[in-house]
Structure 1
Amino acid sequence: MSTAAPVSTELGALREIVAQGCRVIAGRGLADGILGHISLRVDAHRLLVRCRGPRERGLGHTVPDDIRLVDLDGAEGAPGELDGYAPPNELPLHTEVLRRRTDVEAVLHVHPPEVVAADLAGIAIRPIVGAFDIPGTRLAAGGIPVYPRGVLVRTRGLAAEMADALGERPVVLLRAHGLTSAAATVEQAVLQAVSVDGLARLSLRIVSAGGTLVDLPEQDMAELPDLGAGFNTDTAWRHELARLRGVVDPDGLPATPA
């Protein structure tokens, strides 16, 4: 079985960002072992997606060579792209969202235990915090829908049901399964999932301590500033990569990844 590198080398930078995203969500505990995947639209008919390969080591060990170019039907997007590799079983989960949402370029699917547990316990993801996580609060305030079927989303029919539940929102919970996050970039899709996971963890802790979940008051919500993409996405993403690598420079500060 061949393990040759992908032929479309001009997509190297995009393969790297998808691979980084996979490693970040694994490092954050949002996906365990070999489960979970991220995709990124390349053009109207093709996407890069984490595939199963001959050297599968799990999500936390994803490398650019694991990211392969396929079309919306799962066929290889360029000669040699699927030589020894196979798209994830839930590829339709990605492609159905990309078919419907022109505002979406990246789709992420993970299995965060606390998110699944909170939903099964009847705890909705709500805007219970303020400055603790401003992007997460705004995300939750808009509502996070739930797809109520705990199935493997491996057909277009099931993917259509999930996409219906997602609607125009950035995130949908999949009951007894996980979550799907859709965004304009891989970084945004990952950070959205991190925020939902954080809110789920806090909610479970509050309820376990005997507390009651209360939404942030409207007057406090109105005071929350938009710190901009440079902080909410760019700086947050550099942190995620530095946190993942555990790299420290001589001054004791996280080094900026290359």
Structure 2
Amino acid sequence: MTSRAFAEERNLVAEACRVLAGRGLADGILGHISLRVDDDALLVRCRGPRERGLVHTTAHDIRLVRFDGTAAASDETDGWSVPNELPIHTAVLRSRAGVAAVVHAHPRRTVTADLAGIAIRPIVGAYDIPGAHLAAGGVPVYPRGVLIRNADLASEMIAAMNGRPVVILRGHGVTSAAESVEQAVLQAVSVDGIAGISLDVASAGGSLADLPDADLAELPDLGSAFNTGTAWRHEIARVRGIAAATAPVG
């Protein structure tokens, strides 16, 4: 197996990293996305000798590694290193058979809301239907602000996650797990959106109130073609538009 393998998947993970950055969920050089490719290997955003940050991620930054962190092929190394927090990804993938993708990001609003004692709750309705249902199911918190760099800490995070799609890492960031890269990113976007609205309401002197159960039950499932497919096409168009608008002229 060579670095030419999984070209389409590498492009997907790379573009997803740029979406995270474009949404402000992964400012600078911190954050990574992984995608399981088989029982022993995953594609993950790695840091190379000319690291420029997630907004500049290319398919070349996405490396094929084994779950133990070693390169899956000799041409996957050449000066690149796996994330220090690779155990976040491997622990989730090992413990959740239905999960194929893991996002770890550092969304400022999500971190701020949690530190302010504001939980992610279903305060919105049709504004973000998938987000409302996600929040209603609960977004737990891992209460340690540590670098999750080993199996023991990753196990603690998994326990705090308690089978939910997203867990907030106190003073640190967020982990989002899903069947696809697209869904994992969109979950993180929804959580950060609700965190932002919560902070705005609190700063305006308002009180946060959960959506009534009757209203929550009334929110339809618009299906994956819309919730994920259409939403993802928007995210890609959005990040490409940002890149085009900020590209140097001449």
Q: What's the TM-score once normalised by structure 2's chain length? A: 0.95
SS for the counterpart of 2:94 is helix
Q: Which residue of 2 aligns with 1:251?
A: none
**CA offsets, 1:116-155, max 9 Å, x none?**
0100000000000100000000000000000000000001
Equivalent AA in structure 1 for residue 21 of structure 2 = A
**CA offsets, 1:34-90, max 9 Å, x none?**
000000001000000000112211000000000000011100112221221100000
SS for the counterpart of 2:230 is helix
Q: Which residue of 2 aligns with 1:55?
A: 50
Aligned counterpart for 1:221 among listed residues 216, 226, 237? 216
CA distance, structure 2, for counterparts of residue 91 and residue 82 of structure 1: 16
Q: Which residue of 2 aligns with 1:186?
A: 181
Q: Which residue of 2 aligns with 1:255?
A: none
Equivalent AA in structure 1 for residue 82 of structure 2 = P
CA distance, structure 2, for counterparts of residue 204 and residue 82 of structure 1: 43
CA distance, structure 1, for counterparts of residue 68 and residue 159 of structure 2: 19
**Consecutive aligned runs of 4 or more in structure 1 exceeding 4 Å deviation:** none
CA distance, structure 2, for counterparts of residue 185 and residue 140 of structure 1: 19
Q: Which residue of 2 aligns with 1:250?
A: none
Q: Is structure 2 residue 189 aligned with structure 1 residue 160? A: no
Q: Is structure 2 residue 235 aligned with structure 1 residue 240? A: yes
CA distance, structure 1, for counterparts of residue 217 and residue 83 of structure 2: 42
Aligned counterpart for 1:230 among listed residues 225, 228, 244? 225
CA distance, structure 2, for counterparts of residue 199 and residue 77 of structure 1: 38
SS for the counterpart of 1:80 is helix
CA distance, structure 1, for counterparts of residue 240 and residue 3 of structure 2: 27
Aligned counterpart for 2:85 among listed residues 84, 90, 94? 90
The aligned length equals 242
Q: Is structure 2 residue 47 aligned with structure 1 residue 14? A: no
Q: Which residue of 1 aligns with 2:194?
A: 199
SS for the counterpart of 1:9 is coil
**CA offsets, 1:148-169, max 9 Å, x none?**
0000000111011001111210
Gap runs ≥5 in structure 1: 1-5, 248-258
Q: Which residue of 2 aligns with 1:66?
A: 61
Check whether the contact 2:3–2:63 (CA below 8 A) recurs between aligned residues.
no
What is the Cα deviation at residue 8 of structure 1? 3.3
Equivalent AA in structure 1 for residue 28 of structure 2 = G
Equivalent AA in structure 2 for residue 117 of structure 1 = T
Equivalent AA in structure 2 for residue 12 of structure 1 = A
Equivalent AA in structure 1 for residue 116 of structure 2 = A
Equivalent AA in structure 2 for residue 208 of structure 1 = S
Identity across matched positions, percent? 67
SS for the counterpart of 1:109 is strand
Equivalent AA in structure 1 for residue 47 of structure 2 = R
Q: Which residue of 1 aligns with 2:171?
A: 176
CA distance, structure 2, for counterparts of residue 240 and residue 38 of structure 1: 16
Q: Is structure 2 residue 121 aligned with structure 1 residue 126? A: yes
Q: Which residue of 1 aligns with 2:95?
A: 100
Gap runs ≥5 in structure 2: 243-250
Q: Is structure 2 residue 12 aligned with structure 1 residue 40? A: no
Equivalent AA in structure 2 for residue 113 of structure 1 = R
Q: Which residue of 1 aligns with 2:140?
A: 145
Aligned counterpart for 2:73 among listed residues 54, 78, 93? 78
Check whether the contact 2:89–2:102 (CA below 8 A) recurs between aligned residues.
yes
Check whether the contact 2:43–2:65 (CA below 8 A) recurs between aligned residues.
yes
CA distance, structure 2, for counterparts of residue 159 and residue 208 of structure 1: 34
